[in-house]
Amino acid sequence: MAATYDFPSDLLAGQEELHQVRAELSALLKRLPWSVEPLDGFSDDSGWRKVERAASPGWTADEQAEVEKLRRREHELVVFVSTHRYWAELTGADRVHARSRLKHVHETPEGPA
């Protein structure tokens, strides 16, 4: 049976918010143009595969601010989760396994009802 860990609620909340921020940032970056600054499109077929990009209008100031806000929050959460006092209670392989479990704790289905 896999080990279970009694993660503190603030650590669980921090990890869950980190997942949400990363998902939001990923979705935003997929929607935005490929270049922050306006750039002409290009086509290059001299490599091992052809690469083409349409012209990029660049990101608006609001889009840049939103990306920066999400990246800053992601950094804050990574620091919070990785330096949480809970990790001092564990050593060696237990700490590594617990960190891995924390990353996936939101995926674990609840026990039988």
Query: For 24-37, what is the HEC assignment?
Result: HHHHHHHHCCCCCC
Confidence at residue 113, expressed as pLDDT on a 0 to 100 scale: 47
The pLDDT tens digits for 25-52 are 999 999 999 999 999 999 998 888 999 9
DSSP string, 35-99: -SS-B--EEE-SSSS-EEE--B----HHHHHHHHHHHHHHHHHHHHHHT-GGGGG--HHHHHHHH
pLDDT band at 106 (very low <50, low <70, confident <90, very high): confident
pTM: 0.84
**Residues 77-89 pLDDT 10s:** 999 999 999 999 9
Out of 59-63, 67-71, 73-77, 91-95, which region has the weakest mean confidence (pLDDT)? 91-95
Q: Is residue 16 predicted with pLDDT exceeding 50?
A: yes
pLDDT score recorded for residue 1: 47
